Amino acid sequence: MTEIQDAPLDDQTLRELREIAARYPQARSGLLPMLHLVQSVEGRVTSRGIEACADILGISAAEVSGVATFYTMYKRRPVGDYHVGVCTNTLCAVMGGDAIFERLKDHLDVGNDETTEDGKITLEHVECNAACDYAPVVMVNWEFMDNQTPASATRLVDDLREGKEVRSTRGPRICSWRDAERVLAGFPDDRADEGPAAGPASLVGLGIARERGWTAPSSERRGVGPGSPADTAIGAAKTADSSHAEAETRIAESDAKTVGEDAGGSSSGSTTDKQED
């Protein structure tokens, strides 16, 4: 079905898109949060959202579309009230992620990247959620739900569909997907301090380091300070680049001289021929 969107975005959304663009020295750097704002309003990246971003940033709609279709967080189909992402990358998969995903597909009667008939849940298998210490992990609107099982994941989506309050394992209360997109656009919801920022499994290494008095090496010890191997390598590279440039210049000058001599010889020969004629 062809998407028909003749009317532009509302005035408030356009003002906020311009506000985002104005945050950056180069306005087009604001494109990513601008697309999140479009999703918070439209439920996905729409054609008119793409046109609005392009117009504000002074770039083509094709350039905006290229970004919107590159990153998987930008959706071209409507997303439900809650985006449930099941990690099926290696560690989560072997710890039970694949089983969780299959159970949720059956329970919700949807396939990958599909939305339930009531519009509540969009289910997607996603790549690494950077939470391997809590595998298998499910994310709801990009908030962590750690150490899941098929049974706990089923209860999770049922609670979301019933409108019950759900709290992420290491973060705030779960909001709607559109509200989460607005936060990603840079408009805080004042929930940043809700819930723990890190859990015990993530802090084990830090605890061991403190017990044993381990500290990070200085920049010199890491080999990036003045006189370090890295610094020497950088200097050598610069010297090589300079020598290469000088060699190219000499070759160019030599070629130019040769071309000039050849041209002079041809001209002389031509004059002799004319005199003989």
pLDDT in tens, 221-268: 656 556 555 555 555 555 555 555 565 555 556 555 554 555 454 433
Q: What is the DSSP code string of 108-131?
A: HT--TTEE-TTS-EEEEEES--S-
Between these two residues, 7 and 267, which has the higher pLDDT value? 7
pLDDT of res. 199: 82
Between these two residues, 160 and 220, which has the higher pLDDT value? 160
Between these two residues, 222 and 99, which has the higher pLDDT value? 99
pLDDT digits (tens, 9 = 90+) for 206-233: 999 999 999 988 876 656 556 555 555 5
| b/e burial code for range 189-209 (CB count within 10 A of at least 16 → b) | eeeeeebeeebeeeeeeeeee
- 15-26: average pLDDT: 97
pLDDT digits (tens, 9 = 90+) for 165-194: 999 998 899 999 999 999 999 999 998 888
Q: Average model confidence (pLDDT) for the chain? A: 85
Q: How confident is the model at residue 197 (pLDDT cuts 50, 70, 90)?
A: confident
* Residue 151 pLDDT exceeds 50: yes
pLDDT of res. 135: 95
Asked if 146 contacts 169 with a C-beta cutoff of 8 angstroms, the reply is yes
pLDDT of res. 26: 96
With vertex at residue 215, the alpha carbon angle to CA 211 and CA 219, rounded to the nearest 5 degrees, is 175
Residue 41 to residue 10: CA distance in whole angstroms: 10
pLDDT digits (tens, 9 = 90+) for 23-44: 999 999 999 999 999 999 999 9
> How many residues in total does the chain contain?
277
pLDDT of res. 55: 97
pLDDT of res. 273: 40
pLDDT digits (tens, 9 = 90+) for 36-82: 999 999 999 999 999 999 999 999 999 999 999 999 999 999 999 99
Q: What is the DSSP code string of the chain?
A: ------SPPPHHHHHHHHHHHTTSSSGGGGHHHHHHHHHHHHSS--HHHHHHHHHHHT--HHHHHHHHTTSTTS-SS---SEEEEEE-SHHHIIIIIHHHHHHHHHHHT--TTEE-TTS-EEEEEES--S-GGG-S-EEETTEEE-S--HHHHHHHHHHHHTT---B-TTS-B---HHHHHHHHTT---S-TTSS-SS-HHHHHHHHHHHHHT--PPPTTTTT-STTSHHHHHHHHHHHHHHHHHHHHHHHHHHHHHHHHHHHHHHHHHHHHHHHH-
One-letter amino acid at 127 equals E
pLDDT of res. 259: 46
* Residue 4 pLDDT exceeds 70: no
Residue 33 to residue 31: CA distance in whole angstroms: 6
